[in-house]
Amino acid sequence: MAEHNQPGGFSMPMFKPWVPEKLRPWLYVYLAFTFQLSSGVYLGGLNEMMGSLSLMREDILMCLYASLCGLAFTFPILFRTKFRFTNRSLLLFSATGIAICNFIGLFVTCLPVLWTICFITGCLKIQGTFECMSNIQLWMTPKRDFRVFFPLLHIIIMLSIPMSDLLAVHLCHVATWHYMSYLMIGVMLFNVLWLFLCTRHFRFMKPLPFYAIDWLGAILWVLTVMQAVYIFCYGEFYNWWDSETIRTLTVTTAITLLLAVVRMFVIRHPYLEPKMWKNKYLPGIFLLSLVIEAFFATEHVLEEVFYEGGMEWHTHTKAVLNYPVMLGVICASLFALLWLKVWQQGRVRLILIGLSVFIAYALCLYFTVSTDMNIEKLYLPMFLRGFAATLLSIVLLYSLQSVMHFMVFFQSLAVFQVLHLLIGGVIGAAGYAFGIRYLMADHVARYGNPLDNLRLPAREVPRHIGELMSQFQVASVKQLYGIVAYVAISVLLMIVLYDLFHTHNQIKRMPSWSSVGRILRRTVSFRRKRRFTFN
């Protein structure tokens, strides 16, 4: 849709003529950013939601994971929707759907329903973002160069995460957690209004029929992933496989995974095609993305334990640390743009730089974490975390695009996002939670006995016990950061020694939307003929 409407120039014909040409792409940048800000639930108000709805932390985190699952598994059908419906229809549908989901989420207390709403929100969120960014891609890089597109895209994606947290925290501070949903409902309704006023339906080719999609296969993959996420999210609560619930879910996860894999090989066009898995570089990229995301789960476990248990900081105080994270995001995106496009350096070295920055982040916290530290000492580690997370996300995504054929790239991107956003993070969080519990028990066993010999007034015992447990938590967090640093250094040395990402340096060009549409049309026509012949 964002093709050349005039010879030699970029235009956006889906806008009405009275909208200024120079303003049009910036309106889509704003729209993409608002889509990224949206969610089913907002973690900035996590503590308030737990108290208001009588939910556990795991319940609300599952809402986040459901949203990420919907986001990831929508990738394989994004082109089908793009070439079936107009850009205006998709954007209006996405904005309206997100507003409705945010409104319903305010009143729902049944967890399966809430998770379903968050899943739908994730689908609409990525659909709206894809429509915006695909239409301004030629404005961002006229040659469709992903070395330019991915760094600029990540400024929007990665900035929206701490920005959403900041907005939610400030709104919870002055009001309640409901007001973040009210704000996003208002923003989405405003988007619907200006889309109605400023855009029109436009097609550059005949619409493709919206059929021959393996919906059953998609459902099987979603069920498999969500069951696996549930196991790791609630594993510590249920005491892992000592619980009948976890044992039952393990069996059902294996069954749904087997059914999904069998279906992938027995039907002609499955949701995730087998030829996608034949790329020899794919396992290395997937494995590294899984390990790296497990590293960054420190944000949701170790940092939270230190802030709330060790320092007893209020949520409003912790929110200040989002500012150095946002600075790190911007610096990492600009550095990736310089490295890949201007300096034209390799991807392996950029991965090593990202891992080195993460190691510096872990070591900074290992040497500085204590119960008497100032919050200013955390500015540098937070900057390094934002820098490393953004840089590694860009280079891994660019590596995936470089080795995959374009027609299966979005299928591989769905698996990549599942591992990168879901499985890696939830496994890392479960591992850190288990480590905290183990180390806390070890510290109590080692250093708790001398307390029996102390003679304290009864009113002083709770205070001293509380201070001692805070010290134990800080010591456990420090130990785990040291372990993470050791593991990250080992991974870095393995990449240096074995060069897992020794891929070709030829720059792949993305085909035009017209070319992609013609390929999809031939594919759909072929399926239609085969179906007619078979019947």
Q: Return the CATH number of the domain spanning residue range 21-205.
A: 1.20.1250.20
For residue 480, give every residue at least 6 positions away whose Cβ sits within 8 Å of its Cβ, in sequence order, or none: 298, 302, 432, 435, 436, 439
Q: Are 274 and 93 in contact (CB under 8 A)?
A: no
Quick one: pLDDT at residue 507? 47
d(CA 130, CA 142): 18
Q: Report the sign of the C-alpha dihedral through residues 32, 33, 34, 35, in that order.
A: positive
Q: Are 86 and 201 in contact (CB under 8 A)?
A: yes
Q: Return the CATH number of the domain spanning residue range 276-446+464-498.
A: 1.20.1250.20
Q: Are 370 and 474 in contact (CB under 8 A)?
A: yes
Mapping DSSP onto H, E and C, the string for 218-241 reads: HHHHHHHHHHHHHHHHHHHHHCHH
Quick one: pLDDT at residue 423? 92
Q: Are 87 and 135 in contact (CB under 8 A)?
A: yes
Angle, alpha carbons 487-491-493 (nearest 5°): 115
Quick one: pLDDT at residue 230? 94
To which H or E segment does residue 55 belong?
none
**Same fold for the pair 21-205 and 276-446+464-498:** yes
Phi and psi for 199 in degrees, rounded to 5?
-120, 165
Quick one: pLDDT at residue 51? 79
Q: Report the sign of the C-alpha dihedral through residues 234, 491, 72, 44, in that order.
A: positive
**Per-domain residue ranges for the chain?**
21-205, 214-270, 276-446+464-498
For residue 39, give every residue at least 6 positions away whose Cβ sits within 8 Å of its Cβ, in sequence order, or none: 64, 67, 118, 121, 125, 164, 184
d(CA 401, CA 409): 7
Q: Please state the pTM of the whole predicted model.
A: 0.89
d(CA 427, CA 102): 28
For residue 203, give every residue at least 6 positions away whose Cβ sits within 8 Å of its Cβ, in sequence order, or none: 1, 86
Positions of the chain with pLDDT under 50: 1-8, 500-501, 503-507, 531-535
